């Protein structure tokens, strides 16, 4: 299963937000059910992830964040004070981001077409400009913004590598 780390973090953050809303809304079943759905989504991702390739510390981090989410879910289901569980879950999300962001363990793939345009301005008549659209989620994951958009392009072994310049 190819999935970006950003997608997983988004599910975790949604679960955290919905758990907080469930508590704020006097343990509203709607938000409790959303937390359960997000917990199921994370379990599905873990199930389909190639655990053989995942190092022990990464596997432990992944299962820890899921355990903390389950603790939050169990707590809001019993309508208890869940402050400790929410804090532990928030810390486990930060730990998860730190462990997986460095190596970007998860791979996301997209088939794209190269766009060919005739160059304008002072270019010669046969000059062309080539472009490929990159998904916005990838750009965000790399930390590229409109203000900080400089990247380095490398061609190596018939692959184009794009790296953000820090």
- Rounded to two decimals, what is the model's pTM? 0.57
Every domain of the chain and the residues it spans: 5-103, 115-164
Contact 85, 72 (CB under 8 A): yes
pLDDT at 88: 93
Contact 163, 154 (CB under 8 A): yes
Q: Which CATH architecture has domain 5-103?
A: Up-down Bundle (1.20)
How confident is the model over 119-131, as a mean pLDDT? 80
pLDDT at 23 over 90: no
pLDDT at 25 over 80: yes
pLDDT at 8: 81
Distance (Å, whole) CA 35 – CA 29: 10
Look at residues 76, 63, 82, 73 and name the one whose alpha carbon lies nearest to residue 28: 76
Helices 83-103 and 5-24, axial angle in degrees (round to 10): 170
Q: How confident is the model at residue 150 (pLDDT cuts 50, 70, 90)?
A: very high
pLDDT at 102 over 60: no
């Amino acid at each position: 299963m190819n999935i970006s780390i950003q997608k997983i973090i988004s599910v975790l953050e949604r679960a955290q937000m919905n758990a907080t809303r469930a508590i704020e809304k006097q343990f509203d079943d709607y938000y409790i059910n959303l937390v359960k759905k997000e917990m199921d989504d994370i379990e599905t991702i873990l199930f389909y992830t190639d655990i053989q390739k995942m190092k022990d510390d990464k596997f432990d981090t992944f299962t820890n964040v899921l355990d903390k989410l389950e603790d939050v879910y169990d707590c809001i289901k019993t309508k208890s004070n869940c402050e400790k569980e929410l804090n532990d879950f928030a810390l486990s999300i930060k730990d998860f981001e730190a462990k997986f962001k460095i190596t970007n363990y998860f791979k996301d793939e997209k088939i794209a077409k190269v766009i060919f345009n005739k160059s304008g301005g002072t270019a010669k008549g046969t000059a062309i400009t080539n472009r490929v659209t990159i998904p916005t989620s990838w750009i965000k994951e790399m930390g590229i913004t409109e203000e900080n958009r400089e990247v380095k392009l490398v061609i190596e072994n018939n692959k184009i590598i794009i790296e953000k310049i820090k």
